[in-house]
Amino acid sequence: MKAVHFATGKHDGIWNMAFDRYLMELVRENSWDFVLRTYGWDPACVSIGKLQNTQREVDPEKLIAGGYGLVRRPTGGRAVWHETELTYSIVASTDHPAVSGSITEALRKTAAPMVFALNSLGIKVAVSPTEKHRSGGPRTAANPCFTSHGKWEVGTPDGRKLVGSAQARSRGVFLEHGSILFGNDQLKILDYLPRNTAEGLKNTLRKHLTEGIACIHEFDPNIEISDMENALHDSFSSIAGNPLESISYEELETERFGELECECGNDI
């Protein structure tokens, strides 16, 4: 099995989502069996889930006017503010042993190396196989991802969420996105909710985005993004079938990648 790791650095939201969609195409064409990608965002960006209504989740005009990005993920889930974090993508065929089975089984399988990587850096985290640690965010529109802690998501023993993730399956290919928080910027999204969002809802969300979130620098401010990337490289090698090979991404910026950038830019 050919397993690779792309560390692509920081790019804008449209570039990031186009690259992941391109990786899905390449896995479908059997270029690789398992891909781990780690990356960041510049400028800071809000991503919304595949099925979300943009106008019900954020105020796009205000967000763009503020100099921030907005993009739709090919994965499900809810809105995420991307800034002080390391984002990861896992791409593999749906029958790959590391991600095969039901949604719950795949979540369990990918959570294990994430927990191992964080624990190896001295961050004590765990997953809960039940929803007993839900932080309680309301299930409404304008309800960001980090307002609740779902089944098999990675968090602290006291139930605070540190990693938010979402999945997709398309034509035989599995994709998981995840945000590993280094700092808590999630409150910023409250300034860009739809104009008609009730103040009471904002206050409830503010409480959950303050009390229900943990971040790496809360535990150790000396951990660098590269430390987390290296830990993920090692831990995901254990489930990929072979040690991950680190390769450059520049050669993938092809004409087809440019077409996907245009598609992502139009899908807001």
Catalytic (active-site) positions: 145
> Residue 192 burial (CB < 10 Å; 0-12/13-18/19+)?
buried
Other C-beta atoms lying within 10 Å of the C-beta of residue 254: 10
How does strand 3-11 pair with strand 245-246? parallel
Please give, one letter per residue, the 3-state secondary structure of the chain: CCEEEEEEEEECHHHHHHHHHHHHHHHHCCCCCEEEEEEEECCCEEEECCCCCHHHHCCHHHHHHCCCEEEECCCCCCCEEECCEEEEEEEEECCCCCCCCCHHHHHHHHHHHHHHHHHHCCCCCEECCCCCCCCCCCCCCCCCHHHCCCCCCEECCCCCECEEEEEEEECCEEEEEEEEECCCCHHHHHHHCCCCCCHHHHHHHHHHHHHCECCHHHHCCCCCHHHHHHHHHHHHHHHHCCCCEECCCHHHCCHHHHHHHHHHHHCC
